[in-house]
Chain A
Amino acid sequence: NAGVMQNPRHLVRRRGQEARLRCSPMKGHSHVYWYRQLPEEGLKFMVYLQKENIIDESGMPKERFSAEFPKEGPSILRIQQVVRGDSAAYFCASSFSGRPVETQYFGPGTRLLVL
């Protein structure tokens, strides 16, 4: 019973390149949440997705960032034209139904370094 999987675990990009971060939720989970942890800061909510729908993207920067969770395959957090300030750890979590009482299970994170 695998937990939440994220890949890659570490990603290095040069300024201006694109970064794609993948999150495979726990088996049977159809709700995914992305969080960002900037250096010396706490984890901050970015976006909440169900299969094929974005439910809440209030924490995601309006430009250069996008997220999707297709019917098949992992959820993708995409950062276009990365800048040094995007260097952070990106965590995803999943839950079964998204109900408020349900626990979110966290993945190991992807550490993005922008040179």
Chain B
Amino acid sequence: KQEVTQIPAALSVPEGENLVLNCSFTDSAIYNLQWFRQDPGKGLTSLLLIQSSQREQTSGRLNASLDKSSGRSTLYIAASQPGDSATYLCAGASSGGYQKVTFGIGTKLQVIP
């Protein structure tokens, strides 16, 4: 059974800092790993999707990496801005006959102006 853990649970940084959010998963036989952003009371915004055959994906100031052997993924945010404040969710997709998506509880990020 896949379990996804995110560390830290909360993070507060001053504007402009680079930061890393961590995600670990127990079942290395994942099909993909996805990072989402969730604003308070809002839905999910997909940020980056890394297929199992890929090592990383980049979009603007965001870079996500995937290391299946160690069961880890990181989300790197460069030059953080107050608008980056949100909860970031990591989700791993595994097989159980169909694609099963397991979410971490998230890291709540606050970027202080």
Q: Which residues of A contact B (CB under 8 A)?
A: 31, 33, 35, 41-45, 48, 55-56, 91, 93, 95, 98-109, 111
Contact = CB atoms under 8 A, between A and B. Distances in A.
Contacts of B105: 41-42
A95 B98 CA distance: 11
B98 A55 contact: yes
A32 to B, nearest CB: 12
Tell me what chain B mostly uses at the interface: helix, strand, loop, or mixed: strand
A43 B46 contact: no
A108 B65 CA distance: 26
Interface of A: prevailing SS: strand
B103 to A, nearest CB: 4
Interface of B: 4, 31-32, 34, 36, 41-44, 46, 49, 89, 91, 93-106
A107 B43 contact: yes
A103 B104 contact: no
Nearest to B36: A106
Contacts of A109: 42-44
- The 9 tightest CB contacts between A and B, nearest first, are A108-B43, A100-B95, A42-B105, A43-B103, A42-B103, A109-B43, A100-B99, A106-B44, A98-B98
Contacts of B4: 42
B98 A43 contact: no
B43 A100 contact: no
A42 B106 contact: yes
Contacts of A45: 100-102
B35 to A, nearest CB: 13
Contacts of A108: 42-44
Given A42-B106, A109-B43, A104 B101 contact: yes
Contacts of A95: 99
Contacts of A102: 99
